[in-house]
Amino acid sequence: MGKLQLPERLRWDHNAWYRRWLLRQLPSEAGTVLDVGCGLGELARSIRAGSVTAIDASERMIERAATTSSSVRWVHGDVFTRELGRFDVVTSEASLHHLPLREGLTRLKELTKPGGRLVVVGLYRLATPADVAMELVTLPANALVGLVKWLTGQRTGSHDPEMPVVWTAPALAEIRAAASEITPGARVRRRLFWRYTLVWDAPEVH
Ligand SMILES: C[S@@+](CC[C@H](N)C(=O)[O-])C[C@H]1O[C@@H](n2cnc3c(N)ncnc32)[C@H](O)[C@@H]1O
């Protein structure tokens, strides 16, 4: 049986599902944007702003991302040690769990200009009955998505084979506690597909 062919905009992976939401959190006239842990750069390429910088610790990811767009400043380096300056908007899509949580969130905060915005789509680990209850929705939804991807000829794993992967993540309670200390006022929401979102509007002085 021939497989259906979906248009590009309907192709699906767990991170792309939240990318549209993430892009909507950016101010319509963002000046400078930094994407942390950009991987192959799909998010960075989609951002419309005065200037977009994207950093990744993997040389291979940056090498491959750099072949896809010359309008992004691609930086190979460790976000903790690389001097980057501060940005109107800092984004992190599925990368914060690659960093120690508190140090990582503190670094993302430092990189955000006063008055700027930090937007995170992150992964959390199942740790409470509420997390497990969410699985009653997530698992059937995930199976359905897997079926649709198979029928439409898309790769069923959501990871590129060269993408660095970390198989653990903090629990949602740890993320909320870190956020309330480090980025007070941040809005943290539990999402489907083992994801959470965090939006923090930096005060004028921080
Ligand atoms: C799961 S990938 C997510 C990639 C991309 N944001 C996406 O959504 O497809 C996480 C990325 O974070 C990068 N990373 C991990 N630690 C880092 C660090 N200390 N500094 C910069 N990037 C880092 C990894 O190399 C990896 O490419």
The pair phi, psi for residue 67, each rounded to 5°, is -80, -10
**Helix, strand, or coil here: 73?**
strand
**Is residue 28's pLDDT more than 90?**
no
Report residues whose beta carbon is within 6 angstroms of any ligand 1 atom.
Answer: 15, 37-39, 42-43, 55-58, 61, 78-80, 93-95, 98-99, 163-165
CA dist list (Å): 112 to 7, 90, 96, 205: 35, 6, 15, 11
Task: List pLDDT tens digits, range 72-126.
Answer: 999 999 999 999 999 999 999 999 999 999 999 999 999 999 999 999 999 999 9
CATH domain 9-125+162-201 topology: Rossmann fold (3.40.50)
Distance, CA of 183 to CA of 153 (rounded, Å): 42
Structure tokens at 143: 């199976």
What is the 8-class DSSP label of residue 202? -
Confidence band (pLDDT; 50, 70, 90) for 8? Answer: very low
Which residue's C-alpha comes closest to atom 17 of ligand 1?
57
156: CA distance to ligand 1 center in Å?
Answer: 21
Both tokens assigned to 182: 């480090």
Q: How confident is the model at residue 137 (pLDDT cuts 50, 70, 90)?
A: confident
Looking at residue 71, the DSSP 8-state letter turns out to be: S
**Quick one: which of 47, 28, 31 has its CA closest to 91?**
47
Residue of 68, 83, 98, 120 best suited for mutating to test ligand 1, as the one with most atoms within 8 Å of CB = 98
Q: 127 CA to middle of ligand 1, Å? A: 24
Mean pLDDT over each residue of the chain, to the nearest integer: 90
pLDDT, tens only, 29-42: 889 999 999 999 99
CA 182 – CA 166 distance, rounded (Å)? 23
> What spacing in Å lies between the alpha carbon of 97 and ligand 1's midpoint?
9
Encode pLDDT of 141-183 as tens digits: 777 777 777 777 776 555 789 999 999 999 999 999 999 999 9
Dig out the tokens for 23 from the structure. Answer: 């892009």
- Residue 2 CA to ligand 1 center (angstroms) comes to 36
What integer pLDDT is reported at residue 2 of this predicted model? 47
Average pLDDT over every residue of 193-205 = 94
Please report, for the chain, the start and end positions of each structural domain, with discontinuous segments joined by +: 9-125+162-201
Quote the percentage of the chain above a pLDDT of 90: 69
Separation of alpha carbons 149 and 70, rounded Å? 30
